[in-house]
Structure 1
Amino acid sequence: MGTAAGSNGCDVAIVGGGLAGGLIALALATRCPDLHIRVIEEGAQPGGNHRWSWFASDLDEAGTRLLAPLTKAEWHAGYEVAFPHGGRVLETDYRSLGSDDFASHLTAVLPAGTLVTGQRAQDVAADGVTMADGARLPAGAVIDCRGFRPTRHLRGGWQVFMGRTLQLERPHGLTRPIIMDATVDQVDGYRFVYVLPMAADAVFIEDTYYQDSPVLDRALLSGRIDAYAAAHGWTGTMTHEETGVLPVITGGDFAAWQAEMRVPGVARAGAGAGLVHPLTSYTLPFAVETALIVAEAFANKPALTGTALADLLEQRGREHWRRTGFYRLLGKMLFGAAAPAERYRVFERFYALKPSLIERFYAGRSTWADRVRVLSGKPPVPVGAAVRALAQDRPPLYLGAQTQRDSA
């Protein structure tokens, strides 16, 4: 791969400096330090404006090592869930990484010149990237890590959220995260509030919805976060805000979607390659796994071609689709078998199961025994409605995934 690097190009061009792209860059820099890498990010810094969280059990030893040097919040007292008919504390350790810390780490550890920010990639090809200003970056391999784009080939619903960090006037008293507080009013779909105690006097509050449309009403969600904080006696100053609209994939024609997205010889990774948890929209465990796979491929074959890498990651996407069919089935039941105000019952019943089953579920590693257990017993939704939901297709995920509006 020295040719591209030797002509003011690079060995590997990564388009998109979010979680997937940034982790691939870190893994390559660690495992293959002689490779010349460029990360092309449209924003002012890599990472965007996000918070990524995961359970310690989501990652294997290699994945844990990759993330070990990053500054992140960690909780060792487990986490809580709360539902209208009861709650529970589970003992699994929890982690959370903010995009600012992610960006700072990338900037500090990647070689100078690796990060190319404030530049939009206009076109990607097997042999390089063309920028919006016409400049071209030759590359031996190109990995497109830009996010999910709405499509008619995949079906499902949406996870819509707004999160805020508050610097409080007094300590909040929380000792562990609240992953799901579904005791809140069930409106606009399955709704829960997610709470992270970031410090003794700082808290992150996220209002989340599993809903049928991708509409994010900023003013409405803002008011609900304010009301939740007030109900808990938390007053202070907002220091951070983020919003998101993520696909909850319940089915579709994955091969047709891959064909729609494919650029010959260009590899794809991250949410734009379908490497997400279909039901929870989690990306971090799969982004870590992909980064390690890419680094291993280059370590074993330094002259790996972009076409070979594209084939490798496309195959990984197909395997991931096959492995996660169970979660898409559950998504169809969640959206189609219960009225929006009753969807919480699906998660309420799920969280009564064994902790080890819950851990495997979030990591996307549910066993056949796990699947039987999740589907057995008294169903949380009417059986007839569940059967009808499985027989029907959800709407295509082609509506504007960033639709937002302000309330009057």
Structure 2
Amino acid sequence: MPPRPIDLAVVGAGLAGGLIALAMRRRRPDLRTVLIERDARLGGNHVWSFFASDIAPADQALVEPLIVARWDGYGVRFPDFARRLGTPYRSVTGSRLDAVLREHMPAADILTGVAVRAVEPFRVALADGSFVEAGAVIDARGAGSLPAMAGGWQKFLGQMVRLVHPHGLTEPLVMDATVSQHDGFRFIYALPFTPDTIFLEDTYYSDDSTLDAPLLRNRIADYAAAQGWTIAAIEYEETGVLPVIAKGDLDRYLAATAGDCAPATARAGTRAPLLHPLTSYSFPDAVRFASYVSTLDNISGTSLGRTSHAWVAHHWRAGAFYRMLTRMLFGAARPDDRWRVLQRFYTLRQPLIERFYAGRSTGADKLRILAGRPPVPLAAACASLAGQGRPLADLGRPNGPAQ
């Protein structure tokens, strides 16, 4: 019997592509979805975390099998302020995403170790000269840079470490900014997975994308030592350099990043770019878009491309307020004072903070965030909004000339 025709081919099995494939398999088993990944493992070597309030009730069942750790709240620490918030917090790992996808999808529909040469609305050209034909294609490969956009960078190095003795944390520290400030706003992110295993990430909101891995490893070791923790082993490590978007031209970006992706092809994930402009946080948007795709009546290459581009354009318009805040963070605040902006933000009401991270701030939320004395000089804030503040990084050229 010849193989069943492919209804949807998803290129890239990271968070965005993996969630689309999982949503289609669970909700649209009548359609054949094939996942194409360059690496041997799906999901990569990542930890993704999210607030329970980020996920709509209708999408809980999609996300639930992926969760490897859950907590009833989290803490933040700043030089002048500390707080515990009661928003439930969850974590997902790349290895768990790999396992769940393989559990739900037929082995023949997962193509790993496959290099892609070009992506079109109805087919994927592979590096070996062959093609994968499909009724529709979504390009969910990550974007290394964002041409036609400016802002800053969120860069990090994280390590899953096993300690000699229990660490004593019962909930995550989502932001510990009591550490010395270097290279912009710096904080430590700590996830206590077991009593003696903790994920420690050294994170920076920086003006450039250079990541000095040996330096950050030393700083993580110093942080652990300062907490009284002795590291017995480093179980794995991950790094990342993510764009923080202050302004840009979406149409120019989409045209500039077409490359081996035909302009009419549907996109997902950071290639779209579907992420929070200020936090670089992509989990809620990845879930929302995957869920939406699985509800479409017409999944064909041309229709899906139009639908994808309309979704991306709507997301871009909805992000205007967050891009304005990014301009203020990078254009008005001195790098070593950026922590003050986040410290003030975390004094606000918990529901407002939840809506902010989910990218669903109300009009009243926006007024409250901007109300009162700003944590940056007023003149600098006005200058940044007028395009005359501190130079912003060119996100299309890491470490290139600022604009």
With structure 1 as the length reference, what TM-score do the two structures score?
0.93
One of 21, 33, 36 as aligned partner of 2:29: 33
CA drift of 1:260 comes to: 2.7
- Among 99, 107, 110, the residue aligned to 2:102: 107
- Matched with 1:215 is 210
SS at match of 2:148: strand
Q: Does 2:354 align with 1:359? A: yes
Q: How many angstroms apart in 1 are the aligned matches of 2:56 and 2:190?
A: 26
- State the distance in 1 between where 2:215 and 2:5 align: 47
What residue in structure 1 maps to residue 275 of structure 2?
276
TM superposition shift of 1:6: 6.2
What CA distance in whole angstroms lies between the structure 2 residues aligned with 1:126 and 1:322? 25
* Pick aligned residue for 1:346 from 341, 344, 349: 341
**Which residue, out of 180, 193, 205, partners 1:185?**
180
Listed as ranges, the gaps of 5+ residues in structure 1 are 402-408
Structure 1 counterpart of 2:247: 251
Distance 1:243 1:349, change over 3 A: same
Equivalent residues of 1:19, 1:287 under 8 A apart: yes
1:214–1:399: 8 Å Cα contact kept in structure 2?
no
Given the alignment of the two structures, is residue 261 of structure 1 paired with residue 260 of structure 2, yes or no? Answer: no
1:9/1:137 contact within 8 Å kept: no
C-alpha distance in 2 between matches for 1:61 and 1:8: 33
1:369 maps to what in 2? 364
Contact in 1 for aligned 2:208/2:393 (Cα 8 Å): no
SS of aligned partner of 1:69: helix
Shift of 1:337: 0.8
Instruction: Tell me the secondary structure at the aligned position of residue 381 of structure 1.
Output: coil
The one-letter amino acid paired with 1:51 is: V
Contact map agreement 2:352 2:365 (CA 8 A) in 1 = yes
- Describe the shift of the 1:249–1:6 C-alpha distance in structure 2 as closer, same or farther (beyond 3 A): farther
1:23 to 6, 19, 22: 19
SS of residue paired to 1:157: strand
Alignment-derived partner of residue 292 in structure 2: 293
Task: Select between 16-25 and 67-76 the one with higher mean Cα deviation.
Answer: 67-76
1:215-235 CA distances to partner (integer Å, 9 max, x unpaired)? 000011010000001111111
Deviations 1:244-292 (A, max 9, x none): 0000011111121123334243110111001100000111100000001
Q: What is the root-mean-square deviation of aligned Cα atoms in Å? A: 1.5
Partners of 1:202 and 1:390 in 2: CA distance? 43
Q: Per the alignment, in what secondary structure is the counterpart of residue 240 of structure 1?
A: strand
The answer to whether 1:120 aligns with 2:115 is yes
Deviation at 1:152, TM superposition (A): 2.9
Q: Which residue of 1 aligns with 2:393?
A: 395
Given the two structures, how large is their TM-score scaled by the length of structure 2? 0.95
8 Å contact kept, 2:275–2:282: yes
User: In 2, Cα distance between the equivalents of 1:361 and 1:237?
Assistant: 36
- Secondary structure (helix, strand or coil) at the match of 1:285 reads helix
Match of 1:70 in 2: 66
State the Cα distance separating 1:395 from its structure 2 match. Answer: 3.0
Shift of 1:69: 1.9
Deviation per residue, 1:329-378 (Å, 9 max, x gap): 11111111111110000000000000000000000000010000000111
- Kindly indicate whether the alpha-carbon contact (under 8 Å) linking 1:8 and 1:138 is maintained by their aligned counterparts in 2: no
Q: Name the SS for the 1:82 alignment partner.
A: strand
**1:153/1:257 contact within 8 Å kept:** yes
Asked if structure 2 preserves the Cα contact closer than 8 Å seen for 1:8 and 1:137, the reply is no
Match of 2:224 in 1: 229
Rounded to whole Å, the distance in 2 between the matches of 1:148 and 1:378 is 37
What is aligned with 2:308? 313
